[in-house]
């Protein structure tokens, strides 16, 4: 840094994952930041700003970048598809956007992989198969089974999902998100919070009419608890199965209570 730039106005240093620096490294860096040459510019990138010592932060201009929403990622992927002569279904691109978790770079990498796998014809079915993503139809089916009097169908479906190579924690996390979407779909004010196509929103709305709000709240709590304890569980499959049986048990208990009250009125 002491050597001035040749033929340029500035020397720019980019430090990625800056929160990984040790305290000793931060303190050594601080001496440079206190009296930097006029031509030296530092760009520090991190996802964990709280790990950077305050004396460093106080000497920086801080720019917080938000995640890119799914709709914007889809629009950009559609733009790329048109320029690269790739045929891509919108629902397939929505899966890519969800998988990238708000990172456009990751979305483009996944998109590039799909182009290689599918030969410039990206369908929804090919996308979920190549990315090993659980189709939303699985969650719709298992939700119907959980909130029914059938006490075994959802366990058989969960067994099939595991047999396909899906992780139990990935499944229970996705199920919690599905319950959350059903909750959002029960109100016209919150349905806009669901980053889905209009077709999928309509599916969510139809299913949400079948499920009581309080049962959804309890189901979300059980899924969240199962997700939290999953890593420390010795029998991970059993922990998910217990969660599913508890959700179904809550429904059956409420159903029996409603029948009992109805008989008492008669």
Domain ranges of the chain: 11-57, 70-130, 136-259
List all residues 6 or more positions away from 201 whose beta carbon is below 8 Å from its beta carbon. 185, 191, 194
- CA 223 to chain centroid: 15
Dihedrals phi, psi of 122, to nearest 5 degrees: -95, 105
pLDDT score for 142? 93
In this predicted structure, which of 72-86, 163-177, 247-261 has the lowest mean pLDDT? 247-261
CB-based contacts of 100-105 (< 8 A; 24+ apart in sequence): 100/73, 101/67, 102/66, 102/67, 102/68, 102/69, 102/73, 103/67, 103/68, 104/68, 104/73, 104/76
Burial class (CB in 10 A: 0-12, 13-18, 19+), 201: middle
pLDDT score for 230? 92
DSSP state of 15: E
Using CA atoms in the order 153, 141, 133, 196, what is the torsion angle rounded to 10 degrees?
Answer: -160
Angle, CA 70 vertex, CA 67 and CA 75 arms, to 5°:
115
Tell me how long the chain is: 266
List all residues 6 or more positions away from 50 whose beta carbon is below 8 Å from its beta carbon. none
Q: What is the pLDDT of residues 203-259, one digit of tens each?
A: 888 898 888 888 899 999 999 999 999 989 999 999 999 999 999 988 888 777 776
pLDDT score for 259? 65
Does the pLDDT value for residue 193 go beyond 90?
no
pLDDT score for 144? 92
pLDDT score for 203? 86
| CATH architecture of the domain with residue range 70-130 | Orthogonal Bundle (1.10)
Does the pLDDT value for residue 263 go beyond 80?
no
Name the CATH topology of 136-259. Answer: Zinc Finger, Delta Prime; domain 3 (1.20.272)
Q: What is the pLDDT of residues 78-115, one digit of tens each?
A: 999 999 999 999 889 998 998 888 889 999 999 999 99
Using CA atoms in the order 22, 24, 28, 30, what is the torsion angle rounded to 10 degrees?
Answer: 70
Alpha-helix residue ranges (DSSP H) falling in the chain: 23-34, 54-57, 70-83, 90-100, 104-118, 124-130, 136-146, 153-163, 168-185, 198-208, 213-229, 236-265
Note the pTM of the prediction, 2 decimals: 0.70
What distance in Å separates the CA atoms of residue 68 and residue 32, rounded to the nearest whole number?
34
| Whole-number average pLDDT of the chain | 88
């Amino acid at each position: 840094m002491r050597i001035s730039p040749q033929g340029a106005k500035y020397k720019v240093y980019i430090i990625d994952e800056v929160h990984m620096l040790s305290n000793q490294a931060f303190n050594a860096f601080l001496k440079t930041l206190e009296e930097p040459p006029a031509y030296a510019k530092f760009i520090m990138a991190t996802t964990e700003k709280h790990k950077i010592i305050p004396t460093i932060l106080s000497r920086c201009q801080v720019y917080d970048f938000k995640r890119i929403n799914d709709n914007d990622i889809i629009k950009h992927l559609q733009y790329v598809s048109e320029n690269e002569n790739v045929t891509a279904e919108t629902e397939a691109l929505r899966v890519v956007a969800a998988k990238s978790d708000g990172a456009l770079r990751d979305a483009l990498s996944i998109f590039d992989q799909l182009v290689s796998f599918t030969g410039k014809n990206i369908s929804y079915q090919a996308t979920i198969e190549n990315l090993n993503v659980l189709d939303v139809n699985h969650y719709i089916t298992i939700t119907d089974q959980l909130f029914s009097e059938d006490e075994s169908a959802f366990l058989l479906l969960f067994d099939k999902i595991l047999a396909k190579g899906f992780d139990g924690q990935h499944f229970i996390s996705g199920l919690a998100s599905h319950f959350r979407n059903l909750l959002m779909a029960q109100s016209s004010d919150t349905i806009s919070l669901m980053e889905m196509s209009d077709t999928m929103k309509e599916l969510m709305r139809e299913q949400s009419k079948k499920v009581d709000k309080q049962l959804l709240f309890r189901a979300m709590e059980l899924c969240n608890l199962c997700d939290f304890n999953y890593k420390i569980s010795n029998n991970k499959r059993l922990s998910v199965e217990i969660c599913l049986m508890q959700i179904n048990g809550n429904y059956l208990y409420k159903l029996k209570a409603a029948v009992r009250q109805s008989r008492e009125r008669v």
